[in-house]
Amino acid sequence: MSKITLNQTAGNDNAVIWIVKITIDASTVFYFSDTEDKITLSGTDFDGKVILKDSLQYLDQNINIAYGGTLCSPGNTAVAIARYNAYTGTSDFFDDFYPATSQNYITGRQVQIGVCWTGATTTGEISWLYDFYVDSYSYDWNQISLNLYERAILEGVECPYFEVQDQYDNGISYFPTASTKDMDGAVLPLLYGDMRASLIGSLFQRGDTTAPTILIDESKVKMIVAYHECYSVSNGASGQYECYKYLDGVDEHLRIRRSANTTLSNDKKGCAVTMLDGGSAALVGNLILRLVLLSRDNDISDVSNVVNDDYTDYTVLPASSDVDELALRLVGEASTSEVGYLSATAGDCDVNFVITSDDANDRVWRVGIRNNVTAATDTGTAGTHSAGTGFSTATHPFGATTTTQTNEVNDIWTIEDVLNNDYFIRNRETSEGEDIRVYYGYIELDNIDVYNPYKKGRITRISFGTPWM
Amino acid sequence: MPLYVKYKQETVKNDKPPSLGSLYVPVQGKEFDTWVDAGSRDNGYDSGDLIENPAYVIEDFLRSQIFAEFDVEITANGTWDSGTKTTITCPDLLSSVDDYYNGAYVVHVRPATGTATQLTVSDYVGSTNVLSLSAAVTVANGDYVYLWNIQGDNRINIASFDAVGNATDGHRDDGGGTGVTWEFARSVNAKLSSRMLLDQLLYESHCMLVLNTDPDTGVGQYELYALEAGSSDGTLSTPLHRDGLPQIAVSLTDLAEVYTDFTFRYLYHYGKGSCVKTLFCNKNDSSTGIGSTYETYCQNAIDNYKVNRKFHYECSWIRDDDTAEELFKLLIKMMTKQRLLIQYEGNIKDYIDYKVGNVVLVNYADMIPTGVNNSTKFRITQKTVVPKKKDGSVLFQLTEIVE
C-alpha cells in the first residue's frame, strides 16, 4: 500500500495546524484547531482558543509482529479543552455534558484529528489522520481532558452473537420448545470454508470431522449448522442429507442417513438440517472400524503393515491349508446406547480383509470369527480371490450368525459383541509359495438402527430351547 | 404332565432410544455477499462464491461480526402500521448520524412465516432512526432485524485486502508466487472475543491488520498486509538531528524469539478437541513437503545463535496440507532469524504521510549496516506523532521483513 496522500502539500513544521473535530450527534459538531485564534475553512470556524496549548498528546499506533501475524493495538491520545472559552457547547464544560441535566453525552462520540498547513482555506485541504472515540474524561478547574482511543470496539465484541434462547422471537435464535431447554445458551455457529472435504468418500472416517451442529429439536433430529446461509450442504448417494456422530471410544464416525424425508433449510435465517421431517423411515447408521489390535491367536509374526495407516503395504499370509491365521481385534470401546442396535441381516455386518495374490493366480481363503471368552468359533466364509494381483475383499457376513456372541444366545448383535471378538483370515492354499498379501482389515456395520422414535418398546425375543417335562 | 417348553424372554436394551449426542454435518460455510462486487472491485471472486481465502475470511468477519448491530427491534412508538414497508423505524440503532447505515445489509426474519429477507439500506435519517430499504418487506411492530456491513466500504481498505487475497496475484492465492491457494475453514461454535479470533486468523494467514485513517473521510480503515511481502513505499534518509546527532537507533528482536525445532499441528478435530495432523522440521529431518532448505534454517539458527529451542503451534483455521506447509515454511524462515529493528525519527513535513504497514528502505550508511543499508526492506510497525508546533516530529519503529 502506498503512503497517505495528503490533501495539501506539506508545509514546514512551524506551519503545521492540528485540527480536532468532535461529533456529538448529527447536528452538534465541534471544530477546533491549535492556532492562536481560529482558522476558517470552507466557511467553518475552527476555534483556536478551545484546545489548550500543547495539550494534544502523542498520537501513537503500533503493532507487534515479532511472533508473526497479528492485529494492531488500539492507538490512544488525549486532548484538553479549556473551561473558559467562548465556544458555545464547550465553555464551562462541566455543565455542558452528562451528567449535567439534559446535556449531551460525550463518551462514545467520534473525535477525528487531522492536519493542514498555514494557507489552507478549505476543509478539503485537511488530511485526516486519526479516528478516535472518547473513552472517558476528567476535569479540574481549568480544563476537561478527553481520553481518546481508536476503535477499540474490536476488543469488546464477543462472537458469534446469536445463542439459543426462549425469551424473544427474533426469527433466528428463538427456540421455545421444551426439547431445546438443554441447548439454552448454545452458540449458533459462524462457519467458513470447506468442512467436508477429507471425510466424504473416504473409507475410514476417523481422521477428520465435519462441522459441529446444535441439536435444536431431538424429536425431528433438527440441527443448526450456522446462523447464516451456507454455500452448500452435502447429501448422500440417495440425495438425502446425512450427519455424523463421533465415537470417541473407537475414534471413528458413525455415518447416519435416511432413505427419505430429510430436509435442508438454508437461507438468511440460518442453515439447518432436519433428519426426521415426516414419514416413518428410521435413521440408520454405517460404521466402519479398522482391525488394528493383535489377537492372541495370531500366527503371523509381523502384522505391522496390516495395522498401519499405509494402505499400500501388506503382510504376507503363507499357504497353510486353512490352519494358520492372521487374527486381529478392534481397539477401544463403544456401547449400544452410543451406536444403536445392529442389524440382524447377514450382509449388514461384515468382516473384511483387503487382499491380493502375490502372482497372477487365484488364492483360496477363509475369514471367520472367534470369541475368546466363550471359546466359540464361527468358521466363517471360504472364498476365492480371483483377481490375480488386483485387489479383492475377502468378506464374511456375520449379521445373521450368532455363534460368537458373548451375552446371549440367539440375541441380536451389539457393538459390545463386535468389539469383544477376534477376526481372522486364513490361506487355504496347500503349496508353499502360494501367498496371500493382506493390506488391511475392517468391520463394516450397516443399517444400524441409530434412532427410531416411531418404534417404541422394540425387540422382545423369545428363544426356544430343549423341551422339558 | 404338561409339556413345557424352555424359553427365555430377552428384552434388548430398548427402554429408550440411543442418545444422539453431538452430530456433525458436511458443509461449506459462508459465501461472499454483494460487497465483494461493490463498485469496480475485481478480485476474482463473486457474490455467491465460497469464502475460504484467508484475506476474505478476515474481511467478511469484520463486516459481519464487527460492523454489525444485532437484535434491533422495529417499532414506531405505538403508531406503527404493520404491513409491507420500504422504511422501518429502529430507535435502538447506535448512530444518529444521517446516512450512517447507507449500504448496510438488513436481515429480517418474519417470525410468523419464517420468511427470511436481506435488504440494503438506501437512506438513513439519524434524528428519527428511519431506515429506507432497497425493496419492500413485510414486517410487524416488534419484529427484529440485524444489520451488518455497516460502513463496510468506508472502514475496509479494499485495495489492501485484494493485494493479499486477489485470485490472480494475491499473496495468499495462486498468483502470489508460491503456487498455493490458501484455504481456511472453521466452525466458530463457542463465544470468543473478536480480537482473539482475529489474532488467530492473522497469525495463521501470516498477515497483519492495522487501522489507518482515510485522509479524506477521517474514518478509520482496516488495512491488511502479508508480512513477508510488499514493494517499497519510500526511502528514509533524512532523520532529525538533535545535538548534531541523527535520531536513529538500531537493535535486534529478542533472542527468545528464535527457535530451532518446529512442530505444527493442523486439521482440528471437533470430536477429539485437538488437531490430528502434524508437520515438523528440525536440523536433522522434516515432514514430507518441507525440505532440506528449512532444515538448514534450523541448523543455521543453532550455529549462529547457540540456542536450541522448540516451537509448537496448534492451528484453529487450517485444515489442508498445502496451506499448512506454506505457513509452516514462512514461520520457520522468520523464526530462525533475529531481525533488525530501527527507531527512526523524522520531521513532520517529510514523514507525516507514512503509515503503519508501509514498507520502506533506510538509506543512512553511517548507521545502517552494509548489506542492509538502502537494500533490506522494513515494515513500519509503530508510528508516533508528536503534535507540537515548535518541536513536532514523527517517530517510527521499523521491523525487518523476512521475504
CATH number, domain of B352, equals 2.40.30
pLDDT at B343 > cutoff 50:
yes
The whole-angstrom distance between residue B111's C-alpha and the CA centroid of its chain comes to 34
Residues 282-311 of B with CB under 8 A from A: none
Please report the pLDDT score of residue A37 as a whole number.
82
Interface contact B25, partner A, CB < 8 A: yes
Q: Can you tell me the mean pLDDT for A81-96?
A: 71
Interface contact B137, partner A, CB < 8 A: no
Cα–Cα distance for residue pair A415/A436, rounded to 1 Å: 30
Interface contact B29, partner A, CB < 8 A: yes
CB contact under 8 A, A10 and B111: no
Interface contact B40, partner A, CB < 8 A: no
CB contact under 8 A, B208 and A70: yes
What secondary structure letter does DSSP report for A413?
P
Q: Can you tell me the mean pLDDT for A126-147?
A: 90
Please report the pLDDT score of residue B132 as a whole number.
94
pLDDT at B219 > cutoff 60:
yes
Please report the pLDDT score of residue B12 as a whole number.
43
**β-pairing verdict for A70-71 and B207-213:** parallel
A158 to chain B: closest CA residue = B193
Chain B residues within an 8 Å CB radius of A4: 212, 215, 352-355
Closest-CA distance, B165 to chain A, in angstroms, reads 14
**Do B192 and B48 have their domain in common?**
yes
Position B246 in a domain:
yes
- The helix (H) or strand (E) run that includes residue B322 is helix B321-335
**Do B311 and B267 have their domain in common?**
yes
CB contact under 8 A, A408 and B10: yes
**Do B94 and B243 have their domain in common?**
no
Position B136 in a domain:
yes
**Do B167 and B187 have their domain in common?**
yes
pLDDT digits (tens, 9 = 90+) for A144-198: 889 999 876 555 689 999 999 988 899 899 988 756 667 778 999 999 999 985 5
Please report the pLDDT score of residue A352 as a whole number.
97
pLDDT at B92 > cutoff 60:
yes
Position B3 in a domain:
no
**Do B127 and B264 have their domain in common?**
no
Please report the pLDDT score of residue B175 as a whole number.
59
Interface contact B153, partner A, CB < 8 A: no
Contact B303, B283 (CB under 8 A): no
Categorize the per-residue pLDDT at A49 as very low, low, confident or very high, splitting at 50, 70 and 90. Answer: confident
**Burial profile B239-263: b = 16 or more Cβ within 10 angstroms, e = fewer:** bbeeeeeeebeeeebeeebbbbbbb
Cα–Cα distance for residue pair A418/A410, rounded to 1 Å: 15
Please report the pLDDT score of residue B191 as a whole number.
94
Interface contact B234, partner A, CB < 8 A: yes
Residues 154-173 of B with CB under 8 A from A: 157, 159-160, 163
Position B22 in a domain:
no
**Do B248 and B343 have their domain in common?**
yes
Cα-trace Rg, chain B = 28
The x, y and z cell numbers of residue B329, run together, are 515454511
Categorize the per-residue pLDDT at B30 as very low, low, confident or very high, splitting at 50, 70 and 90. Answer: very high
CB contact under 8 A, A63 and B210: yes
Of A69, A192, A234, the CB nearest to B208: A69
Chain B residues within an 8 Å CB radius of A128: 213-219
Locate cell 426356544: which residue? Answer: A464
What secondary structure letter does DSSP report for A241?
B
Please report the pLDDT score of residue A89 as a whole number.
62
pLDDT at A460 > cutoff 50:
no
Of B29, B65, B230, the CB nearest to A230: B29
Cα–Cα distance for residue pair B190/B204, rounded to 1 Å: 19
Task: Tell which wins on pLDDT, A237 or B197.
Answer: B197
Q: Can you tell me the mean pLDDT for B313-337?
A: 95
Bridge partners (DSSP) of residue B345 are B395
**Do B327 and B371 have their domain in common?**
no
Q: By residue range, what is the domain housing residue B179?
A: 34-65+154-226
CB contact under 8 A, B28 and A10: no
Interface contact B128, partner A, CB < 8 A: no
Q: Quick count: other Cβ atoms within 10 Å of Cβ A425? A: 27
Whole-number percent of chain B with pLDDT over 90: 77
Whole-number percent of chain A with pLDDT over 70: 88
CB contact under 8 A, A233 and B217: no
Cα–Cα distance for residue pair A142/A84, rounded to 1 Å: 7
Q: Which amino acid is at B77?
A: N
Categorize the per-residue pLDDT at A203 as very low, low, confident or very high, splitting at 50, 70 and 90. Answer: low
Categorize the per-residue pLDDT at A199 as very low, low, confident or very high, splitting at 50, 70 and 90. Answer: very low
Position B105 in a domain:
yes
Task: Tell which wins on pLDDT, A367 or A216.
Answer: A367
pTM of this structure: 0.91
CB contact under 8 A, B195 and A154: yes
Interface contact B140, partner A, CB < 8 A: no
A54 to chain B: closest CA residue = B388
Categorize the per-residue pLDDT at B114 as very low, low, confident or very high, splitting at 50, 70 and 90. Answer: confident
**Do B128 and B185 have their domain in common?**
no
Please report the pLDDT score of residue A75 as a whole number.
86
Cα–Cα distance for residue pair B284/B161, rounded to 1 Å: 38
**β-pairing verdict for A436-451 and A44-47:** unpaired
The x, y and z cell numbers of residue A266, run together, are 438454508
Categorize the per-residue pLDDT at B336 as very low, low, confident or very high, splitting at 50, 70 and 90. Answer: very high
pLDDT at B2 > cutoff 80:
no
CB contact under 8 A, A59 and B385: yes
For chain B, the residue count is 403
pLDDT digits (tens, 9 = 90+) for A1-25: 789 999 999 999 889 999 999 988 8
Nearest by Cα to A425 from A372, A380, A388, A360: A380
Cα–Cα distance for residue pair A297/B235, rounded to 1 Å: 76
Position B343 in a domain:
yes
Please report the pLDDT score of residue B5 as a whole number.
38
Q: Can you tell me the mean pLDDT for A410-429?
A: 90
Closest-CA distance, A115 to chain B, in angstroms, reads 9
Domain boundary among B122, B150, B178: B150
User: Which class for A86: exposed (0-12), middle (13-18), buried (19 or more C-beta within 10 A)?
Assistant: exposed
Of A58, A163, A210, the CB nearest to B386: A58
Q: Can you tell me the mean pLDDT for B374-394?
A: 91
pLDDT at A367 > cutoff 60:
yes
CB contact under 8 A, A62 and B381: yes
Chain A residues within an 8 Å CB radius of B385: 58-60, 129
Contact A226, A160 (CB under 8 A): no
pLDDT at A459 > cutoff 50:
no
Nearest by Cα to A62 from A45, A74, A79, A44: A74
pLDDT at A345 > cutoff 80:
yes
CB contact under 8 A, B215 and A153: no
Q: CB within 8 A of A321, min separation 6: which ones?
A: A428, A429, A430
Chain A residues within an 8 Å CB radius of B191: 158-160, 163, 187
Domain count, chain B: 4
Identify from B6, B12, B22, B25 which residue to disrupt to test chain A contact, counting A C-beta atoms within 10 A and taking the largest count: B25
What secondary structure letter does DSSP report for A174?
B
CB contact under 8 A, A171 and B114: yes
Q: Can you tell me the mean pLDDT for A55-71?
A: 90
Please report the pLDDT score of residue A234 as a whole number.
87
pLDDT at B222 > cutoff 60:
yes
Please report the pLDDT score of residue A279 as a whole number.
82
Domain boundary among B316, B335, B354: B335
Interface contact B388, partner A, CB < 8 A: yes
Summary mean pLDDT of chain A: 86
Nearest by Cα to A52 from A26, A78, A13, A30: A78
**Where is average pLDDT lowest: A236-240, A358-362, B251-255?**
A236-240
A186 to chain B: closest CA residue = B190
**Do B293 and B321 have their domain in common?**
yes
Q: Quick count: other Cβ atoms within 10 Å of Cβ B36? A: 23
**Do B284 and B319 have their domain in common?**
yes
Please report the pLDDT score of residue A27 as a whole number.
80
Task: Tell which wins on pLDDT, B24 or A91.
Answer: B24
**Do B88 and B142 have their domain in common?**
yes
Closest-CA distance, A113 to chain B, in angstroms, reads 8
Identify from A71, A174, A412 which residue to disrupt to test chain B contact, counting B C-beta atoms within 10 A and taking the largest count: A71
pLDDT at A36 > cutoff 90:
no
Cis amide linkage into residue A160, ω under 30° from 0: yes
Cα–Cα distance for residue pair A308/A289, rounded to 1 Å: 13
Interface contact B79, partner A, CB < 8 A: no
Position B316 in a domain:
yes
- The helix (H) or strand (E) run that includes residue B150 is none
Position B26 in a domain:
no
pLDDT digits (tens, 9 = 90+) for B283-303: 999 999 999 999 999 999 999
Summary mean pLDDT of chain B: 90
Please report the pLDDT score of residue A178 as a whole number.
57
**Burial profile B71-104: b = 16 or more Cβ within 10 angstroms, e = fewer:** ebebbbeeebeeeebebbbbeebebbbeebbbbb
Domain boundary among B150, B182, B201: B150
Chain B residues within an 8 Å CB radius of A182: none
Cα–Cα distance for residue pair B187/B167, rounded to 1 Å: 24
**Do B319 and B289 have their domain in common?**
yes
Own/partner pairs, B242-248, CB within 8 angstroms, 24+ separation: B246/B364, B246/B366, B246/B367, B247/B343, B247/B344, B247/B345, B247/B346, B247/B393, B247/B395, B248/B342, B248/B343, B248/B344, B248/B345, B248/B362, B248/B364, B248/B367, B248/B368
Cα–Cα distance for residue pair A365/A427, rounded to 1 Å: 5
CB contact under 8 A, B51 and A229: no
Of A59, A242, A411, the CB nearest to B10: A411
Q: Which amino acid is at A54?
A: D
Nearest by Cα to B48 from A36, A180, A232: A232
